[in-house]
Structure 1
Amino acid sequence: MSGNTFGTLFRLTTFGESHGVGLGGVVDGCPPGLAVSEEAIQRELDRRKPGQGGPAATARKESDTVRLLSGVFEGLTTGTPIGFVIMNEDQRSRDYSAIKDVFRPGHADLGFEAKFGLRDYRGGGRSSGRETVSRVAGGAVARAFLHSLGIVVRAATIELGGIPAQARDFDGAQDRPFFSADPEAVDAWTERVQAVKAQGDTLGGVVELRASGVPAGLGEPVFDKLDARLACALMGVGAVKGVEVGAGFASARATGSANNDPITPQGFLSNNAGGILGGMSSGQEIVVRAAVKPIPSIALPQRTVSRDGEARSITIGGRHDICAIPRIVPVLGAMAALVLADFVLLQRRLGR
């Protein structure tokens, strides 16, 4: 396995590097007859493209214009592989020439060198956050499929730089800076980002995902649990270092009587399980959170070693985000959509 394909029946295979000619992918297994267009995919891509996020954003400018190559005819999917490509337009590979022989702390440089014996030092190559543009495009196709079934996946930021949001307005978050779930948190987050940027440092945050309209019974009870696959999908995004479902780690500090979700003839009275019980959807809203680490490319001196093992001190130049939020929010939503689309098809295959 190459690790470049995600999914079982609804599959996304991606290709491309941060400073290569372009990026793209192939969605295979998408049912025919769904309304999909370049415009619809572009709307999702515009939510994560470089330059978004105000003071937290990178100076790199990319239009991230998508071109559909196959699998769509007269605005509808044909049931054949859907190919797409997004060209790189604003690469500055020279920004990385000074550090091509050293390992950047917090990055995948050392792992790539150990695994392949060589690496693309231009922005991390395949391990760059730019790789996620293909995930968002594939996720847009998954969203179209889910929309036809009444399933909606939303994502919003609930914490940034250690400052938590108090509200959970997911509808308004889609048009709010940082994709903030709380309008009152935006000013505090903006001030925090500006202060840390001035120091040459970076920030992390927490993103919450909610999926409504998910029918009960998706997922398998043993090795292919729905929550396990969601965790795999989100952890597969480079900046994510932790995932929790429902009450998550808080459930470890609760009693069983407090953590269980009572069931009445009218339905569940709470949702500590996050809409998943025994690895299968319960019919409730699915709630998952992802912890996003600070961007490792910082403008402060860091200790490291060269490829020859010599001690070095480096300062990362180039153009980088101060925080992966808000651009990671559409990426995580796309990955959750890909999982749910796949599990819907798996359920259909079993005739359920």
Structure 2
Amino acid sequence: MSSIYGKLFSVSTWGESHGEAVGAVIDGCPAGLPLSEEDIQQAMDRRRPGQNTLVTPRKEADKVHILSGVFEGKTTGTPICLAVWNENQHSKDYTEMMNWYRPGHADLTYDLKYGFRDYRGGGRASARETLARVAAGAVASKILKLACGTEILSWVESVGTVTSNVDASKVTLEAVEASPVRCPDPEASEKMAKAVAEAKFAKDSIGAVLALDIRKPPVAVGEPVFDKAQAVLGGALLSISAVKGFEIGEGFHAAELHGSENNDVIRFEDGKYRTLTNHAGGILGGITNGETIHCRIAFKPTATIAQEQETAGRDHQNGTLAARGRHDPCVALRAPVIVESMAAIALVNLFLEQRARKLF
């Protein structure tokens, strides 16, 4: 199983939803970076379960522990091991899934691939694996912030058919975190919360779209052919559980435009190149131009629902399953920090590669 991401800033995640712990090993973090458990915990707290009635009630502190790679408050350049102990597993809730495959879940495909699976909470297919990405992403984000002033921010743009209307350039972390659904539009936030609550009451789930802004990204990173910046970002974000779609800039809407409408006018002002608009989403020819990188990420509805559904089992029999367990009715509500983390990990790899390629 491939559990390692990145070339120069390499992240290996480990652990299962109902195992002893979940964590990550970072190899390639530059030495001398100021780093503490508190730096990472701020991001972990944004992802942890049990925050309100609209997310899974699983109670986990998700306290991160730095086991190696940091001495006297700074990274040593050696592998950094980050661990979070699981404290609130209810494995008995998954006994029915020992045989039955959940529709929309990876149960079936894991069995087809490996001939064996950890049915307790989905094992590695559980979204709990993403806490390791958040821990590693906090380190990557700090590197980008110190080196380039980069700010990475994600928020919920829509839930089901409820869509927000905000000026992306004015969205703040404080506004996002003030909303129970992490939408900075108060009016839309209230409607989204209602939609999620209705799905939960109906023993169902609902999908959502997240927006992602990478402000002040490193300039001129990304490759012109295969490792284009948008391809690297897209691959990283599509690797997140439940993500089904990725757009950058105008995305699919660009297919409806003429070149005269989609091209961004270039200006040289105050000693640097800028564009008057940003239809390209901050990337041209696979290389960042310094403008804000704007993306949209689609999350499907949570697969595990309590409604009775037709399915098949490991014994080749057909039947029905009403899944038990504690699950998010809308998995995207806790996903903004996960999206930010994977974007940071992808971008810091491109940044370090460019530093190695061009000295001046």
Task: Place the TM-score, normalised by the shorter chain, in its bin.
Answer: over 0.9
2:285 corresponds to 1:278: yes
| Whole-angstrom CA distance in 2 between matches of 1:215 and 1:129 | 29
Match for residue 315 of structure 1 among 294, 297, 322: 322
2:227 corresponds to 1:224: yes
Q: Matches of residues 155-304 of structure 1 in structure 2 within 5 Å?
A: 155-167=154-166, 168=168, 169-171=170-172, 172-266=175-269, 267-304=274-311
| Whole-angstrom CA distance in 1 between matches of 2:347 and 2:151 | 10
Counterpart AA for 1:11: S
Q: Matches of residues 1-352 of structure 1 in structure 2 within 5 Å?
A: 2-52=1-51, 54-149=52-147, 150-167=149-166, 168=168, 169-171=170-172, 172-266=175-269, 267-352=274-359
Contact 2:157 2:183 in 1 (8 A): yes
Contact 1:200 1:300 in 2 (8 A): yes
Contact 1:55 1:190 in 2 (8 A): no
| Whole-angstrom CA distance in 2 between matches of 1:175 and 1:220 | 38
- Following superposition, the deviation at residue 306 of structure 1 comes to 0.8
How far does the alpha carbon of each residue in 1:177-222 deviate from its partner, in whole angstroms, 9 at most, with x for none? 2221312211111111111111111011111111111132100000
- Following superposition, the deviation at residue 351 of structure 1 comes to 2.1
Secondary structure (helix, strand or coil) at the match of 1:83 reads strand
Give the root-mean-square deviation of aligned CA atoms: 1.1
What's the TM-score once normalised by structure 2's chain length? Answer: 0.95
- Following superposition, the deviation at residue 239 of structure 1 comes to 0.7
Counterpart AA for 1:46: D
Contact 1:155 1:170 in 2 (8 A): no
Counterpart AA for 2:200: K
Counterpart AA for 2:74: L
What's the TM-score once normalised by structure 1's chain length? Answer: 0.97
- Following superposition, the deviation at residue 174 of structure 1 comes to 3.5
How far does the alpha carbon of each residue in 1:231-288 deviate from its partner, in whole angstroms, 9 at most, with x for none? 0000000110000001001001111111111112342111111000111101100111
Contact 1:158 1:207 in 2 (8 A): yes
How far does the alpha carbon of each residue in 1:279-304 deviate from its partner, in whole angstroms, 9 at most, with x for none? 11011001111000000111111111
Number of corresponding residues: 350
| Whole-angstrom CA distance in 2 between matches of 1:104 and 1:215 | 42
How far does the alpha carbon of each residue in 1:105-127 deviate from its partner, in whole angstroms, 9 at most, with x for none? 01001111011101100010001
Counting aligned pairs with the same residue, the percent is 45
Counterpart AA for 1:314: L
Q: Which runs of 4+ in 1 moved over 4 A?
A: none
Contact 1:58 1:322 in 2 (8 A): yes
- Following superposition, the deviation at residue 341 of structure 1 comes to 0.8
| Whole-angstrom CA distance in 2 between matches of 1:99 and 1:345 | 43
Contact 2:69 2:80 in 1 (8 A): yes
Q: Runs of 5+ in structure 1 lacking a partner?
A: none
Secondary structure (helix, strand or coil) at the match of 1:47 reads helix
Secondary structure (helix, strand or coil) at the match of 1:187 reads helix
| Whole-angstrom CA distance in 2 between matches of 1:216 and 1:30 | 20
| Whole-angstrom CA distance in 1 between matches of 2:253 and 2:296 | 12
Secondary structure (helix, strand or coil) at the match of 2:117 reads coil
Range moving further from structure 2, 295-304 or 180-189: 180-189
